[in-house]
Structure 1
Amino acid sequence: MRLTRPMLAVAGAVAALAVAGCGSGDSEAAAKVPVTATGSLESLAAKAKCKPDMQIDSDEVRQAICKTSDGKYVFATFATDRGQREWINDAKDYGGFYLVGRKWVAVGEDKVVKALQKTLGGEEEIGTNHAAHTGSHTG
């Protein structure tokens, strides 16, 4: 099954909404971050001690839900760096916390992403904060 770019954006947005929550706001420096892991979705999930529940399995993106003792997150791997960046950029509009490695991303609550970073390395990115959008509109 081949997914079009709009379908990938929708899949990314749904994934971000499914697991994104309010972060703790903790700005504590992360412990020593290991070298960023690489590999297939299954090998990365195994390093994170997660049995992936596959949601999307296409040529462009493979996406699964993972649950560990730290919490639940979406794990995705990509065929290309460009596909990964487009997915992240689209999904970040919906908020959330992203752990980004080479051709992979994990999306979840801040505490989950920080815990995962201690195992898989990677760089944390933060989606758009919608906390100020309380539903009251001015002007």
Structure 2
Amino acid sequence: MRGAALAAGLAFLPLATACSGGGEDGAVANRKPPEISDAPAAAVVAPAKVEVIANLTGCKPKIRIDADELRQGLCHTGKVDYSITTFPEEKYKDTWLESASIYGGKYLVGSRWVVAAKPEMLEGLRAKLGGNIRQLQGIGPNPAPSTS
């Protein structure tokens, strides 16, 4: 039920802001047009449901985790598998990233969502979804320097 309310709220948000009055006479006519981002759909989507983000990447996800703190879906394509994880609050995403940092790697991170994929796929996904690519450090021994 909570998810349906959130989805409905997100669906009506662009309509509510587009239909708001200009305030001052002529202010609407003098406004600059909105800037176009690298991923125009991302402004409408994020934060969103796993299924909405997956649809933007051209996949139908298989939901692996459906919990209060997060939802995670796996996308399988002929080339690669990747996961999309969404969070009801930013603090849950931050905790997830902190936990994932022990493994290291690169992730595409947006507003209350994370995509885990092969590093070479992240730029293409970023063009569709927006977000930022983040490198997590990882823990463990560093390789010894080469003696040759």
Shared fold by TM > 0.5? yes
Native 8 Å contact 2:102 2:139 kept in 1: no
Instruction: Name the residue aligned to 1:10.
Output: none
How far did residue 75 of structure 1 move?
0.8
Alignment gaps of 5+ in structure 1: 1-31
Alignment gaps of 5+ in structure 2: 1-36
Q: Which whole-Å CA distance do the structure 2 matches of 1:118 and 1:70 have between them?
A: 18
**C-alpha root-mean-square deviation of aligned residues, in Å?**
2.5
Percent sequence identity is: 30
Instruction: Name the residue aligned to 1:108.
Output: 117
Instruction: Name the residue aligned to 1:90.
Output: 99
Higher relative contact order (CA 8 A, sep 6+): 1
Q: Cα–Cα, structure 1 residues 131 and 115, in superposed 2: closer, same or farther, change >3 Å? A: farther
Q: Which whole-Å CA distance do the structure 2 matches of 1:121 and 1:90 have between them?
A: 23
Native 8 Å contact 1:70 1:115 kept in 2: no
Structure whose residues are more often helix by fraction? 2
Q: Cα–Cα, structure 1 residues 109 and 60, in superposed 2: closer, same or farther, change >3 Å? A: same
Instruction: Name the residue aligned to 2:64.
Output: 55
How far did residue 71 of structure 1 move?
2.3
Q: Which whole-Å CA distance do the structure 2 matches of 1:41 and 1:129 have between them?
A: 26
1:71 lines up with 2:76 in the alignment:
no
How far did residue 64 of structure 1 move?
1.3
1:34 lines up with 2:69 in the alignment:
no
TM-score, normalised to structure 1, is: 0.65
Q: Which whole-Å CA distance do the structure 2 matches of 1:90 and 1:102 have between them?
A: 18
Instruction: Name the residue aligned to 2:53.
Output: 44
Structure 1 residue ranges, 4+ long, deviating more than 6 angstroms after superposition: none
Q: Cα–Cα, structure 1 residues 44 and 123, in superposed 2: closer, same or farther, change >3 Å? A: same
Query: Alignment length, in residue pairs?
Result: 105
Native 8 Å contact 1:70 1:112 kept in 2: no
